[in-house]
Structure 1
Amino acid sequence: MRSFYEFFAGGGMALAGLGEGWQCLLANDFDHKKAETYRANWGGDHLIVDDIRNIAPEDMPGKPDMVWGSFPCQDLSLAGEGAGLRGDRSGTFWPFIHHIQALRDEGRAPGIIALENVLGTLTSHKGADFTAICEALSSLGYRYGAIVADAVHFVPQSRPRLFIIAVRADVTAPALTISDGPKTPWHPTSLKNAFGRLPSALQDNWLWWSMPTPPQRQTKFADFVEDRPTSTKWHSASETTTLLSMMSEVNLAKVETAKAAGVKMVGTIYKRTRHEHGIKVQRAEIRFDEIAGCLRTPAGGSSRQLIMVVEGKKIRSRLISTRETARLMGLPDSYALPARYNEAYHLTGDGVAVPVVRYIAEHLFEKLISKTEPAQGRVGA
């Protein structure tokens, strides 16, 4: 049984992805509402609800095989204010690194460090923040690499995310886990450019992680849609008409094409502010490609995703349901969600896609850490 810590745990989606072969010795998040959901699904004996800065070495039990950190993305996101790793939220990366250092000093350094965040991490402050992350990992005695994994390979949601994976210097990476250079689809141009900006000393510690190409996804967004959602209601006819009135000619043409398709069509919508003729105009932009747009948290002004169901001349619309958002993150219907819509939407939109974690665990983590003996310390429920 492999063991891990999960910092910035949210609703425990990394735990869900790692699965039964992993024991969570410590989970941490400062958000009390997310912690309630975590407890409802995973128990709370191993959960510390507090600022990461307030955790002491004695609060961290056992010797984890891996430490996972989905540190806050707001200051690194292209939609954020650009504070980067100096920001109050994304700057919590540094206390995270401090904890790894404390573990190392006590002879408990994990074999793997896994970091997950938005793609903006690669270009934040012209690449300086990504360089700082690599430098921090190198100073702790780790080699590292990164992949970009899009949840769309596993669930019908467009959700590319950066995963930085570091291994302790004495951990031998099996040949199948590394390649001699970047490989599709895991190493897009943005990542190759970020690597190219690293100083040569940091490039020397770089590993090009290798995984097989994911199998063809069999599901489409319509498979995830609830006919009778309990977390939201279908719009009235006038509300749907108003939504249609917010569409540009291009987007209205998509709706007309869907009406003529002769089959049930399900589209997803985000409201966005566009500049047209020097004026700010709010537009409803729809896609009918059987893929949901990337789920986002409402914080920072992001709109909530809507859906539109077109069956001939009949058109219905509503907010995406919270269960639909959970399904798009790869969570089973047995996963307990918050009763309040905004809390559930925030929880799922702020998480990591479960099947992405499972795929990386199967093809990287579990090949790097092949332990079978029971882990020591607290164990998740």
Structure 2
Amino acid sequence: MHQFYDFFAGGGMALAGLGDHWECLYANDIDENKARCYAKNWGDAHLQVGDIADVEPSQLPGRPDLAWASFPCQDLSLAGSGEGLGGARSGTFWPFWRLMEALRAERRPPRLVVLENVCGAITSHGGKDLTEIVRAICDGGYVVGALVIDAEHFVPQSRKRLFIIGLQQTVKVPAETMKNSPTDLWHPPALVKAHGKLPDALRKKWIWWNMAPPPPRRSILADIVETDATGVRWHTEQETARLLEMMTPSNRQKMDLARSLGRPVVGTVYRRTRPDGCGGRRQRAEVRFDGVAGCLRTPRGGSSRQTIMIVDGKSVRTRLLSAREAARLMGLPDEYWLPDNYNQAYHVSGDGLVVPVVRHLTEQILAPLVDSEELKAAAA
């Protein structure tokens, strides 16, 4: 049994993805709603609710194989404040890392560290924020590398996320977990460019992690849509008409194509503010019928919540994505407990990890690293 800490644990998606061979020794989150959801699904014996800045090393039991940290993305997101690691939310990386340094001083550092965040972390402040993260990890005694994984390979949701993996530098990296050069699937040009900007000393400690492609995804958006969704209502004809009026000609063409297929077609709509061509900006409705939902976001107002659209000939029906549908898009089973309040339930999913993504990363990289003879010897 492998053991881990789960920081910024949310609803426990890291635990769900890591699987039965991993035991969570300690979990922490400041959000009481997420913590309640975590406790309902996983129990609260190892859960501490509160600010990570208030966590003491003495509260962290044992020596884990892994420390997982999905630290807040708002200040690193392309749509966020732009404050980066100096922001109040994404800056919580630093109190997390102070805990890792304290464990190192006590000679019980995690053998592996995984950080998860939005891809904006790659380019934030011209790449300086990523450099600071990599420097902190390397100075803490780890070699490091990163991958960008799009959840679309696993679930019908377009959701790209950055995963940074650090391994104790005293351990020989198993050959099957690394490559000599980046791969197109997991290492996009932005990440390769950011790697090229790293100081030489950090590039020498960089690993191009090797991960096999997943099997073809078998589900599409229509498979997760509920026939009788709870917690949401179908829009009135007038509300749907207003949504259609907000579409550009290119989006209306998508509607015309969907109507011509002679069968029900399920799509999603996002309302976004776009330039109006006259120097101003206006809200637009953008639709997709490719069987994949757009990236879930937390419900900070109506524009951040996805709308389900079902087109069947001349019939067009719309409603908000339900909380259960959002959970399914994150790879959570229907037995997973969700709050009754729509915004609270949606927030848990929208801020979470996609479970099959964590599972694939675990099977392909984390488990082989933890199970390697070199790491076992280092742990002895």
TM-score of Structure 1 vs Structure 2, range by shorter chain:
over 0.9
SS in 2 for 1:268: strand
State the match for 1:331 in structure 2: 332
Give the Å deviation of 1:302.
Answer: 5.0
Say which is worse superposed, 21-30 or 298-307, in terms of deviation: 298-307
Contact 1:171 1:368 in 2 (8 A): no
Aligned letter for 2:69? G
State the match for 2:279 in structure 1: 278
Say which is worse superposed, 248-257 or 199-208, in terms of deviation: 248-257
State the match for 1:305 in structure 2: 306
State the match for 1:349 in structure 2: 350
Contact 2:151 2:159 in 1 (8 A): yes
SS in 2 for 1:123: helix
1:216 equivalent in alignment to 2:224: no
Distance, in Å, in 1 between the alignment partners of 2:372 and 2:165 is 18
Give the Å deviation of 1:246.
Answer: 1.2
Aligned letter for 2:298? T
Distance, in Å, in 1 between the alignment partners of 2:157 and 2:302 is 21
State the match for 1:38 in structure 2: 38
SS in 1 for 2:310: strand
Contact 2:174 2:372 in 1 (8 A): no
Could you give the per-residue CA deviations for residues 150-209 of structure 1, whole angstroms, max 9, x where no partner exists? 000000100010000000112222110000010120111011001001001000000000
State the match for 1:319 in structure 2: 320
CA RMSD of aligned residues (A): 1.2
Distance, in Å, in 2 between the alignment partners of 1:300 and 1:246 is 17
State the match for 1:379 in structure 2: none
1:142 equivalent in alignment to 2:146: no
Aligned letter for 1:329? M
Aligned letter for 1:182? P
Contact 1:2 1:371 in 2 (8 A): no
State the match for 1:86 in structure 2: 86
Give the Å deviation of 1:301.
Answer: 7.9
Alignment CA distance shift 1:154-1:369 (3 Å):
same
Could you give the per-residue CA deviations for residues 238-277 of structure 1, whole angstroms, max 9, x where no partner exists? 2111111111111111111101111210110000111112
State the match for 2:377 in structure 1: none
Structure with the larger RCO, 1 or 2 (CA within 8 Å, 6+ apart): 1
Give the Å deviation of 1:371.
Answer: 8.1
Distance, in Å, in 2 between the alignment partners of 1:58 and 1:352 is 28
Distance, in Å, in 1 between the alignment partners of 2:262 and 2:84 is 48
SS in 1 for 2:345: helix
SS in 2 for 1:61: coil
Say which is worse superposed, 129-138 or 292-301, in terms of deviation: 292-301
Aligned letter for 2:42? W
Could you give the per-residue CA deviations for residues 253-310 of structure 1, whole angstroms, max 9, x where no partner exists? 1111101111210110000111112232111110011000000112388521101001
What TM-score does the superposition give when structure 1 sets the normalisation length? 0.96
State the match for 1:249 in structure 2: 249
State the match for 1:378 in structure 2: none
Alignment CA distance shift 1:301-1:72 (3 Å):
farther
State the match for 1:129 in structure 2: 129
State the match for 1:27 in structure 2: 27
SS in 2 for 1:293: coil
Distance, in Å, in 2 between the alignment partners of 1:205 and 1:228 is 52
State the match for 1:47 in structure 2: 47
1:186-201 map, 5 Å: 186-201=186-201
State the match for 2:96 in structure 1: 96
Could you give the per-residue CA deviations for residues 332-359 of structure 1, whole angstroms, max 9, x where no partner exists? 0000011111111111111111000000
Give the Å deviation of 1:314.
Answer: 1.2
State the match for 2:184 in structure 1: 184
State the match for 2:362 in structure 1: 361
**Unaligned stretches of 5+ residues in structure 2:** 374-380
Distance, in Å, in 1 between the alignment partners of 2:303 and 2:30 is 22
Contact 1:155 1:329 in 2 (8 A): yes
Contact 2:13 2:352 in 1 (8 A): yes
Distance, in Å, in 2 between the alignment partners of 1:260 and 1:232 is 28
SS in 1 for 2:362: helix
Distance, in Å, in 2 between the alignment partners of 1:173 and 1:371 is 8
Distance, in Å, in 1 between the alignment partners of 2:203 and 2:36 is 42
Aligned letter for 1:269? V
Distance, in Å, in 1 between the alignment partners of 2:174 and 2:109 is 20
What TM-score does the superposition give when structure 2 sets the normalisation length? 0.96
Number of residue-to-residue matches in the alignment: 372
State the match for 1:171 in structure 2: 171
Could you give the per-residue CA deviations for residues 23-67 of structure 1, whole angstroms, max 9, x where no partner exists? 000000000111110000000010000100101111101110000
Q: Identity over aligned residues, as a percent?
A: 55
Could you give the per-residue CA deviations for residues 66-115 of structure 1, whole angstroms, max 9, x where no partner exists? 00000000000000110000000000000111010111111111110000
Distance, in Å, in 1 between the alignment partners of 2:241 and 2:222 is 22
1:109-124 map, 5 Å: 109-124=109-124
Distance, in Å, in 2 between the alignment partners of 1:274 and 1:212 is 38
Distance, in Å, in 2 between the alignment partners of 1:83 and 1:309 is 39
State the match for 1:240 in structure 2: 240
Aligned letter for 1:211? M
State the match for 2:376 in structure 1: none
Distance, in Å, in 2 between the alignment partners of 1:352 and 1:127 is 24
